[in-house]
Structure 1
Amino acid sequence: MKLAVVGGGSTYTPELIDGFARLRDVLPLEELVLIDPAADRLELVGGLARRIFAKQGHPGRVSWTDDVDTGVDGADAVLLQLRVGGQAARNMDETWPLECGCVGQETTGAGGLAKALRTVPVVLDIAERVRRRNPNAWIIDFTNPVGIVTRALLTAGHKAVGLCNVAIGFQRKFAKLLDVTPEEVALDHVGLNHLTWERGVRVGGEDVLPKLLSEHGDAIAADLHMPRSLVDRLGVVPSYYLRYFYQHDEVVRELKTKPSRAAQVAEMEKQLLEMYGDPALDEKPELLSKRGGAFYSEAAVALTSSLLRDTGDVQVVNTLNNGTLPFLPDDAVIEVPATVDARGTHPLPVPALEPLYSGLIANVTGYEHLALEAALKGGADRVFEALLAHPLIGQIEYAQKLTDDLIAHNREHLTWA
C-alpha cells in the first residue's frame, strides 16, 4: 500500500507520520511519499519522518520529492494538505478583512474566500495529475476550506473525500469527560465543514448529551470560548467555528488587539523546523501540539483504512449531500457521519434540522456555491457576489471594499486578476 502526501513539507506532517507509525496495524503502509515544492523544508520533515518510522519499528519506506507526477505514481491514496501562499498569505487573510470590521479568518468570511480562490485551481491541477497517473487512487482532502475544495474535486468527477479534525476532536474530549474509550462514543454531527453542531452524543446507543451538558457544561463552554448559557439554551454543542457567527463583533474586537494566528504559527514553525533538523530527534516534539490539527493523524488513518481496506466503518466526512439534507441541493458538500467502504462514502440518515441550524446551513451553502464559481471562473463580479451572499458580510459597501482588497492582496495567485 502506497500513500502520497501533497504538502508533505508542512510542519504538521510529523503528527501524521506519528499516526501512521503507531497505527500501522490499521493502515499497513509499505511506502509513503512526501511531496512539496519547498525542498529545504521537505528534507527536514522527511528526515524526521524516517526516524519516527525507525524508532517505532515501522517497516515502510519513506521518500520525498518536489515532483507531483513522480510522487503520486502508483499511490493508492493521495492526501492533500497544502497551503498556497504559505503563512504569509494566511496572515493577509486574517488581517485585511478587519479593516472593514469583518472577521479575519482563513476558512470563513473574506479570508476564507481568498484562500479558496488561491487553492481550488491548484488542487484541481494536482487531482488531474493523480487521475492521469492513477485513476483508481482516492484523494483525501484536508486542505482548507475543506467544504469548497472537496466540492470542487467532486464536481470535477474525482474520487475524493473531505476530512476535518473537528469531529474526532469532540469525540476524544467527550470520551475523556465521560471516562469511556473514544470508540464507544458516536456523534450526531451535522452541518457543513466548520459549521457544525453535535446534536447527540451516544454511548451504547444512549444519548448522553444532556448528561454531558449538565455535568460538564462549564468545561465544554470554556473550550468553545462561548457562554455556558448559550450552550444550555441550544442544548447542542456547536463547533468552535460557530463563534465567528454567534459572537462576530466580539471576535473582531479580540482579533484587532493581538497578533494574527498566522504570525503565531509562523514563529512556531521556525522553532519546529530547527527541531526537525536535529538528527537525534525521532518523535514529534511537544511544541507540535500547539500547532493545531489535534487527532488529525487518527482521523486520516481511519478514513484511509476504510477506503482502502473496505471496512465499512462510520466516519465523519465531507461528502455530497445527495438528499441527506433535503433543503440543500444534491451537489452541496455536507459534513456528517457516513459509512465508508471501497465504493466511497454513504451518509447516514439525519433527523430533520431545526430552522435555527438549517437556515444558516442553507445560507452558507449558497455562499459556497458562489465561491466555487469565483474560484473556477474568476472575475471581480463573482467575488463580489460571493461576499455579498456571505452571512458575515452581506452589505454592498463591505462586499465591494473586500472584493478590491482581496484581489489586491492575492493578485499573484489569481490568473484572471
Structure 2
Amino acid sequence: MRLMIAGGGGFRVPLVYRALCTGPYAGLVSELVLYDVDAARLAGIEAVLRNMPLAEGVRPRVRVSTELQESLTGTQVVFAAIRPGGTAGRVIDERVALDLGLLGQETTGAGGISYALRSIPRMLELAEAMRQHCPDAWLINFTNPAGMVTEALVPALGHRVIGICDSAGALVHRAAAAAGAPLQDGTLDGVGYFGLNHLGWLYRLAPAGRDLLPGLLTDHAALASFEEGRLFDPRVLEKLGCLPNEYLYYYYETEHATRAILQQSRTRGTSIHQQQDSLYPALPGSPNPYERWEAARLSREEGYMAEARTQGGRRDEEDLAGGGYERVALAVMRALAGGSSQGRDGTQLGSAPTRLILNVPNAPVVSAGRPAEAVTLEGEAKVAVPGLPADAVVEVPCEVTPDGAMPLAQERPGGQFLTLMQHVKEVERLTIRAVRDGDRDAALQAFAMHPLVGSAALGRQLLEGYEHAFPELKGLWK
C-alpha cells in the first residue's frame, strides 16, 4: 500500500513512521510519500526518519516531494495534517483573541475559526487534486479544526473522507482503565459518546453490560488517576453525569483558562513556534537528529494544556509517550484495507469489526454491508446524534470496514449538551459557508455567534484583526 502524508514535514510525522515500522502496523505500508510545500521542513523530517533507531519491523520506502500531482498518483490513502501559515499563524490565531480579552486557543473559539478560514481552502484544493489523480483513494483528515474541515470536504469526497482526533478515544480508554475495565484498541463495547470534534462527552461505559461511569464519577481517587478526571471539579462531573472531552475545559472554565494563558510568559503557540524555528534548520546536519527531535517532542507534550495545570503536576507517562492520533489513523487505514483489529501487542482480536471514535456525517453516506444502527424519532431522520442535521459531521463511535466508517447510534443528548452542540455546529457551518461562498458576512456571524465570543462588536474586531494579520483572507470574499 502507498500512503501519502500531506504536511509531510510536520513535527509529528516521525510518530506515524515509527508506528509503521514496529508493532501491529509493521508491513502495512510499502511506500510512504511525504509531501509538503516547505522543502526545508521535509529535509529535517527525512533526517529524523533515517536516524530513527528501530529494533524490529520493516521500514517502508520513503520519498519526499514538493510536487502534489507526483505525490498523489498511485496513492491509496492520504493522511492530511497541514497548517497553512505555519506555527507563526498559530501564534496570531491565539494573539488576536487574547488581545481582546478572549480565549486564545488554536482550535477552540476565535482562533479555531481563523485557523479554519485558512485551512479549508487549501484542503479543498487537495480534495480536487485527489479527484483528478487518485479518485479511489481515502482521505484520513487530521488537519484542524478536524470536524469542521472534514465537513467542508464531504461534498467533494463523499464517504471517502474520514476525520480523526485522538482526544475522544484517549478519554474513553483512560476512563475505562480507571474504572478497572480496560478496553482493547479497536473495541468500544458498551461505550456511549456523542459530540463534535473537541466538544464531546462520554456518557456511558458499560463494557460488560453494567454501566461503570456513575461509580467512576463518585470515586475521587480514580478520577485523580487520569487527565480528564483531574481537569474538572469532581462535583461538576457528578452533576453532569458524564466525562467531558478535555477541550470542554475551555467552555466550563473559560475565565480561568484565559487568565492562565495571559499570565504565562509566552503562549503555547509562541513556545512551539520558537522551538520549531530553531529545531528544523539544525536537524539535517545534526549527528543525532532523532534524539533532538525526541527531546523536543517530550518538551512539547509536557506543555500541552499547561493552562489547566496551574496548581502543578505533570502529564502521565503514557500521555508523554505519544502514540495517539497516528494509532487512530493507522487503525482506520488497516480496517479500510480489510485488516482485522489487533491489540497494541499485535495479537489478533478475532473477527470483531474495528470500532473507533471518528468524525463522520451524522447519517451514513454509504452502506457498510448491513443496516446502520440508528435512532428513529418522530419528525427526525435516522441519525447517530438525534437533534443534529443528518449531514452535519459529528464525533461518535463508528464501525470501520472496507466500505467506510459507519456512525453508530447514540442516545439523544440532554438539553445542555445538545444546545451547546447545536450552537457550535451553526458556527462551524457559517465558517464553511464563508469559505465556500466567499461570504464575509457569514464569517462575521461565525465569530460573533461563537459561545466563547457572544458579541457582534467583538466579532467584528476579531475578523478585522485576522484580516489584518492574514491579508489572504480578504481574497476569499466576493
TM over 0.5: yes
Shift of residue 173, structure 1, vs aligned partner = 2.5
The more displaced of 39-48 and 284-293 is 284-293
**Preserved CA contact (<8 Å) 1:218 1:228:** no
Given the alignment of the two structures, is residue 402 of structure 1 paired with residue 406 of structure 2, yes or no?
no
Gaps of 5+ in 1: none
SS at match of 2:331: helix
Aligned-partner residue type, residue 412 of structure 1: E
SS at match of 1:189: strand
Higher relative contact order (CA 8 A, sep 6+): 1
Q: 1:197 to 1:386 in 2, by over 3 A?
A: same
Shift of residue 99, structure 1, vs aligned partner = 2.5
SS at match of 2:472: helix
2:211 to 199, 207, 210: 207
Q: 1:73 to 1:327 in 2, by over 3 A?
A: same
**Preserved CA contact (<8 Å) 1:73 1:133:** yes
**Preserved CA contact (<8 Å) 2:47 2:289:** no
Q: 1:234 to 1:8 in 2, by over 3 A?
A: same
**Preserved CA contact (<8 Å) 1:26 1:301:** no
The more displaced of 19-28 and 6-15 is 19-28
1:291 to 300, 303, 306: 300
SS at match of 1:256: helix
TM-score scaled by length of structure 1:
0.93
Which residue number in structure 1 is paired with residue 259 of structure 2? 253
TM-score scaled by length of structure 2:
0.81
Which residue number in structure 1 is paired with residue 99 of structure 2? 99
Equivalenced residue count is 417
Which residue number in structure 1 is paired with residue 354 of structure 2? 313
Deviation readout 1:22-52 (Å, 9 max, x if unpaired): 2354661100011111111101212322443
Q: 1:34 to 1:221 in 2, by over 3 A?
A: closer
Aligned-partner residue type, residue 259 of structure 2: R
Cα-Cα RMSD: 2.3
Deviation readout 1:222-258 (Å, 9 max, x if unpaired): 7653222211221211011111111212222122111
State how far apart, in whole Å, the 2-side matches of 1:384 and 1:138 are.
33
Deviation readout 1:77-120 (Å, 9 max, x if unpaired): 00000100011110011111122222111112111111111010
Any residues of structure 2 matched to 1:208-287 within 5 Å, and which?
208-213=212-217, 214=219, 215-220=221-226, 225-258=231-264, 259-270=266-277, 272-273=279-280, 274=282, 277-281=285-289, 285-287=294-296
**Preserved CA contact (<8 Å) 1:162 1:319:** yes
SS at match of 2:359: strand
Q: 1:270 to 1:400 in 2, by over 3 A?
A: closer
State how far apart, in whole Å, the 1-side matches of 2:329 and 2:111 are.
26
Aligned-partner residue type, residue 121 of structure 1: P
Deviation readout 1:173-198 (Å, 9 max, x if unpaired): 23543565540773422100000111
SS at match of 1:34: strand
Same amino acid, percent of matched pairs: 30
1:363 to 413, 419, 423: 423
Shift of residue 201, structure 1, vs aligned partner = 2.4
State how far apart, in whole Å, the 1-side matches of 2:205 and 2:278 are.
38
State how far apart, in whole Å, the 1-side matches of 2:227 and 2:14 are.
30
